[in-house]
Amino acid sequence: MTALHLQQLLDKWKIQLKQVNRQMYPDTNKIEKHTAALSQANALLQKEIKNRKQAEEQIQFQASILSRVNDAVIAIDSHNRITYWNKAAERLYEYKAEEVLGRSLEEVNHYRWLEAEDEQTAYTALATRGIWQGENIHRKKNGEEIYVESSVSILTDDNGVSNGFLAVVRDITERKQAEQQCQLLLTQEQVAHAEAKVAKNQIFNILERIADGFLALDCEWRFTYVNQQAAQILHRTQEQLIGKNVWEEFPDAIALSFYREYHRAVAQQVTVEFEEFYPSLNTWFEVHAYPTPEGLSVYFQDITKRKQTEQKISQQADLLNIATDAILVCNLKNQILFWNKGAEHLYGWQATEVLGKNANQLLYKEISPQLEEAVLAVIEHGSWQGELNQILKDSKNIIVQSRWTLVRDRTGHPQSILIVNTDITEKKQLEAQFFRAQRLESLGTLASGIAHDFNNILTPILIVTQLLSHKCLALNEEDRQLLKTVEDSSKRGATLVKQILSFAQGSEGDRVHLQVRHLLKEIEQILKSTFPKSIEININRLMENLWTIWANATQLHQVLLNLCVNARDAMPNGGTLSLSAENVIVNENDARMNLDAKVGSFVAISISDTGCGISPEIQERIFDPFFTTKEKSKGTGLGLSTVLGIVKNHGGFVKVYSQLGKGSQFKVYLPASDTQIKQEAADIKMPRGNGELILIVDDEEHIREATKTALENYNYKILTASDALEAFSIFTQRRDDIKLVLMDIQMPLMDGRNAACILQKINPSVKIIAISGILRNQKLLEASDIGVKVFLSKPYMIQELLHTIKRVLNAS
Ligand SMILES: Nc1ncnc2c1ncn2[C@@H]1O[C@H](COP(=O)(O)OP(=O)(O)OP(=O)(O)O)[C@@H](O)[C@H]1O
Ligand SMILES: [Mg+2]
């Protein structure tokens, strides 16, 4: 009951009392008496009110304190209903006071005991002492469990009768978790400690038994521990070493890696590893040294035997590396185990790149039947030999002569395959050329035989027709014409036979010292008067100092005319026919590249057209007698075979370069005659390079590689690219090193003109020599404004190339 209530009650009483007085005590005396008694009572009441007010303030003060404490304070009445729930309780359980007040404790607060017996302990404590303190687990509104420390006391009324509980609860979850963590660490540490103790004993036991040496040195470089094996390797006893200074005991080690590396390990606190030979013990050591708080632990092995084996292997490998053949060893899963220098050289792969790789994937485009046969044969018979098509690192195709031998282990089980490969690509190409030459020769023999018989047949026909026309004077005009046809046809037949014979036998004829210049002039006359005007004839006038040749003028006429007529036929819609001549020295490298060429000095006459060109498939066959692509009435197919016959007879050779749709060039090489000139030629020095780096761009692998080899022989450094894109990538990387670019003008992906343009953008001062099969064609002329210094026509001879390169490099 509050003070206000009391006051109201009191006032009510006063009014009621007055009414009672009026009714009960009408006389005034009595009233006064009662009034005195009442004021006494009133004073008592006022005192009571003051006391109560004080008590109430006290309660409010206490309540405000309780609401501020950090521990949750909860009061429960005798019916187990929550009667008090302070702010800390709200925070702890996340229930607001208004949510829980009046509800039973079980509804709100779920709890668990830490240990099963804790519950009994708590009840006993409350029953006997009226208070329990302990830890248990409570659940929050959101279901989360927390560790709490509670203090629960029984509340009693003035008579000491229990009327509820007061609980003060504190969240100790964090502390509990920390304790648990701590406990865990403690246990782990104990375990680790125990284990370390065991391990230490074990380590020493092991160290004594291992086959490797182990020793420990202190900070003064004294031996503090040496295992039995170490002592044995060092040729001492353990007792002899313990306590001794390592450098005093092994003074030779000071000059060796031991001293340097041990000091490095200690100074830099790093592990060091090294191999070293210790001469006075005649032993190779493999050493691992680790810094320790006490000094240094050294673990070492005697690797003398291994070193000796390695040396032996390396000596053998050196021998294998001297071999120019590619030598490789593969296991039965095709993994490469050995790869000599020859293989590096041939395939372009370094040993480090290929060891462990699959040889089939590396060296073959596809698994060919020969390869399968090789594998089967080597497993079955122990060896195999044959030819294989392989690919190089740069994807180039090669043919190798391959010899396989099965290597077995000691027990006779197949272990690996030893393969020796010889590159026979060039040999194969020469072989093909040789077969062609042979085919031509046999065809020639055959043709000359037929021609001979044919001549015998034609001769009587010719004689008879001539005789008849004289004898039968009475013949009418029509019959006379018929006879004339027979005679003309026979004459044509006879000319043809003569041609066959000159191709097949190459009739000697009269030879004279001949100036090619004169020859070309005469031909020019004929061409200009007989060829259609749509064909522009272009004779290169810059032919001073041409060497003379020893030749039959008529036959050479025939050669040039045949070639010019072919050129004309290739340009039915007109074009340019160019003739030129130059002195050329053919060296061994040139001769090696093609079977027909011979070493010496030559005058080369070139006949180029801008006609239809010759497809690669038929280029092989154009020199075959009777090979023609022309209509029956237009060509016999003997033109080129005659040309070849005559030129060979003169000790020369013919080269062709042609591109379909663009044109063809025939180059006739005739040996220079004059001995003086030959001397002069021999004196002409092949200009050598000074190691300048040259980039060769050509899509034809054969030409690219041959040019590379030739230029390398003359002291140039060479990079090659097979198309414009590759050329750009190389050129961008080596822009400043590349002194010159040799560029084929006709390439499939991007033509050389555009390529030259781009190169010039990358480096405006780039020097480019453009190479083309078609002499000075329109395109080349167009190219003149894009940094192309000089044009060179294919097929070029090395001398010509070297001179041109020198000229371009020297030009500033
Ligand atoms: N300049 C050229 N351009 C294109 N194709 C050529 C050229 N020269 C030769 N050929 C090809 O080579 C073939 C053989 O030439 P060859 O001179 O031996 O015989 P032909 O010209 O066909 O006949 P013939 O010369 O006996 O009248 C030709 O049919 C032609 O297909
Ligand atoms: Mg012809």
How far is ligand 1, taken at its centre, from the CA of residue 629, in Å?
Answer: 7
Take atom 27 of ligand 1 and give the residue whose Cα is closest. 635
pLDDT class for 800, splitting at 50, 70, 90? confident
Residue 21's pLDDT band, with cuts at 50, 70 and 90, is low
Q: Tokens 């014979």 map to which residue?
A: 501
Please state the rounded mean pLDDT for residues 155-175. 82
Of 394-398, 416-420, 681-685, 735-739, give the lowest mean pLDDT range.
Answer: 681-685
State the Cα–Cα distance between residues 676 and 670, nearest whole angstrom: 17
Ligand nearest to the CA of 567: 1
- In testing the pocket of ligand 1, which one of 630, 636, 654 has its CB within 8 Å of the most ligand atoms? 630
H/E element, 233: helix 228-233
**Would you tell me how many other CB atoms lie within 10 Å of the CB of residue 504?**
24
Check pLDDT > 70 for residue 23.
no
Question: What is the CA 55 to chain-centroid distance, rounded?
Answer: 92
SS3 of residue 699 by DSSP: coil
Interatomic CA distance for residues 172 and 156, integer angstroms: 29
| Three-class SS state of 138 | strand
- For residue 660, the CA-to-ligand 2 centroid distance in Å is 17
Cis omega (within 30 of 0) for bond into 795: yes
Residue with the larger pLDDT of the pair 744 and 446: 744
3-state secondary structure 61-108: HHHHHHHHCCCEEEEEECCCEEEEECHHHHHHHCCCHHHHCCCEHHHH
Q: How far apart are CA 539 and CA 682, in angstroms?
A: 28
How far apart CA 711 and CA 693 sit, in angstroms, is 10
Contact 668, 646 (CB under 8 A): no
Q: Which atom of ligand 1 is nearest to the CA of 641?
A: 18
User: Does 683 have pLDDT greater than 60?
Assistant: no
Residue % of the chain over a pLDDT of 90: 22
Measured by CA distance, the residue closest to atom 25 of ligand 1 is: 639
Do the Cβ atoms of 362 and 371 come closer than 8 Å? Answer: no
Residue with tokens 């519950």: 119
- Select from 628, 633, 668 the residue to mutate for testing ligand 1; criterion: most ligand atoms less than 8 Å from CB: 628
Of 344-358, 433-447, 573-587, the least confident? 433-447
Ligand having the closest approach to the CA of 666: 1
CA of residue 637 to ligand 2 center, whole Å: 6
Burial (CB < 10 A; 0-12, 13-18, 19+), residue 694, is buried
Residues shown for the chain:
812
Distance 3 CA to ligand 1 centre (A): 139
| Cβ–Cβ under 8 Å, residues 92 and 140 | yes
Reported confidence tier of residue 250, pLDDT bands at 50, 70, 90: very high
Which residues, in sequence order, are bridge partners of residue 245?
Answer: 222
As a whole number, mean pLDDT of residues 600-620 equals: 91
pLDDT at residue 470, rounded to an integer: 73
- What sections of 25-74 are H helices per DSSP? 28-68
Specify the residue for token string 């040396």: 311
Confidence (pLDDT) at 4 = 63
Lowest mean pLDDT of 19-28, 373-382, 619-628, name the range: 19-28
pLDDT, tens digit, 9 for 90 and up, residues 275-292: 999 998 899 999 999 998
Distance 355 CA to ligand 2 centre (A): 56
Helices and strands in the chain, H and E counts: 29, 28
773 CB near ligand 1 (under 6 Å): no
149: left (phi over 0), alpha (psi -120 to 50) or beta: beta
Which residues fall within 8 angstroms of residue 806, CB to CB, at 6 or more apart?
687, 689
Highest mean predicted confidence (pLDDT) among 58-62, 186-190, 750-754: 186-190
For 210-306, CATH number out of 3.30.450.20, 3.40.50.300, 3.10.20.30, 3.40.1440.10 equals: 3.30.450.20
**360 closest CA partner among 410, 412, 417:** 417
Question: 526 alpha carbon to ligand 2 midpoint, in Å?
Answer: 16
Would you say residue 594 has pLDDT above 70? no
Unique residue bearing structure tokens 């010019």: 564
Residue 149: the pLDDT is: 87
Task: Label residue 776 by pLDDT band (50, 70, 90).
Answer: very low
309: Cα within 13 Å, side-chain hemisphere: 4
Higher pLDDT, 628 or 468: 628
| pLDDT above 90 (res 72) | no
Taking the centre of ligand 1 as the mean of its atom positions, its distance from the CA of residue 652, in whole angstroms, is 20
3-state SS assignment for residue 587? coil
HSE, CB side, 13 Å, CA atoms: give it for residue 332: 11
* Cα–Cα distance, 270 to 277 (Å, whole number): 22
Confidence of residue 610 (pLDDT cuts 50, 70, 90): very high
- Cβ pair 217, 298 in contact under 8 A: yes
Residue of 443, 566, 569 to test ligand 1 pocket, by largest number of atoms within 8 Å of CB = 566
Range in 417-426, 604-613, 791-800 with the lowest mean pLDDT: 791-800
**94 and 142 Cβ atoms separated by less than 8 Å:** yes
Ligand found nearest the CA of 773: 1
> pLDDT tier at 796 (50, 70, 90 boundaries)?
low
Any ligand 1 atom below 6 A from CB of 638: yes
Strand pairing of 72-77 and 82-85?
Answer: antiparallel
Assigned fold of 323-423? Beta-Lactamase (3.30.450)
* Residue 603 clears pLDDT 50, i.e. is over it: yes
Q: Distance (Å, rounded) from C-alpha 287 to C-alpha 213? A: 9
Cα–ligand 2 centroid distance for 639 (angstroms): 4
Q: Work out the widest C-alpha separation in the chain, in whole angstroms.
A: 211
Weakest mean pLDDT among 206-215, 350-359, 617-626: 206-215
Residue 672 contacts residue 603 (beta carbons within 8 Å): yes
Instruction: Report strand pairing: 693-697 vs 653-659.
Output: unpaired
What spacing in Å lies between the alpha carbon of 565 and ligand 2's midpoint? 6
* Contact yes or no for 749/723 (Cβ under 8 A): yes
Atom 1 (ligand 1) nearest CA: 567
Residues 6 or more apart whose CB falls under 8 angstroms from that of 721 comprise 695, 696, 697, 727, 729, 730
pLDDT score at 2: 55
Neighbour-count burial of 690, counting CB atoms closer than 10 A to its CB (0-12 exposed, 13-18 middle, 19+ buried): exposed
Per-chain mean pLDDT for the chain:
82
pLDDT tens by residue, 514-547: 888 888 888 888 888 788 889 999 887 556 778 8
Range with the poorest average pLDDT among 157-166, 383-392, 452-461, 717-726: 452-461
The residues that bridge with 657 in the sheet, in sequence order, are: 665
**pLDDT above 70 coverage of the chain, percent:** 83
* pLDDT average, residue stretch 17-40: 63
Nearest-10 Cα torsion for 206, 210, 212, 216 = 20
Looking at per-residue pLDDT, the higher value among 74 and 315 belongs to 74
What per-residue confidence (pLDDT) applies to 778? 43
The residue-averaged pLDDT of 170-195 equals: 82
C-alpha–C-alpha distance, residues 445 and 500, integer Å: 10
Pocket test for ligand 1, best of 497, 527, 573, 640 (most atoms within 8 A of CB): 640
Res 503: pLDDT: 59
Question: Cα(388)–Cα(374) distance, rounded to whole angstroms?
Answer: 9
We find that the CATH architecture of domain 686-810 is 3-Layer(aba) Sandwich (3.40)
Q: Is 493 in the pocket of ligand 1 (CB under 6 A)?
A: no
In CATH, which of 2.40.50.360, 3.30.565.10, 3.30.450.20, 3.30.70.270 is domain 512-682?
A: 3.30.565.10
- pLDDT beyond 90 at 274: yes
Q: What is the pLDDT of residue 246?
A: 93
What are the tokens at 416?
């690996």
Identify the pLDDT of residue 575: 93
CATH 3.30.450.20 fits 69-171, yes or no: yes
Res. 630 pLDDT band, cuts 50 70 90: confident
- Whole-angstrom Cα distance, residue 407 to residue 733? 45
Of 444 and 385, the structure prediction assigns the larger pLDDT to: 385
Highest mean pLDDT among 49-58, 367-376, 700-709: 367-376
Q: Given the structure tokens 């034609």, which residue do they identify?
A: 458
Instruction: Give me the helices (H) in 594-664, please.
Output: 616-619, 639-649
Q: How far is CA 784 from the centre of its chain?
A: 39
Please determine, for residue 358, whether its predicted confidence score (pLDDT) is greater than 50.
yes
What residues form DSSP beta bridges with 150? Answer: 134, 169
Phi and psi at 461, nearest 5°, equal -60, -45
More confident residue, 483 or 16: 483
User: Range with the lowest mean pLDDT among 124-138, 428-442, 702-716?
Assistant: 428-442
Domain 430-504 CATH assignment equals 1.10.287: yes
User: In the structure, what pLDDT confidence band is assigned to residue 314 with cuts at 50, 70 and 90?
Assistant: confident
Alpha carbon of 778 to ligand 2 centroid (Å) = 25
Residue 326 burial (CB count, 10 A): 23
Q: Which pair of tokens denotes residue 188?
A: 């782990």
Closest CA to 648 of 431, 439, 440: 440
Which of 164-173, 254-263, 744-753 is predicted least confidently?
744-753
Between 76-85, 373-382, 779-788, the lowest mean confidence (pLDDT) is in 779-788
Distance CA 290, CA 373 (A): 55
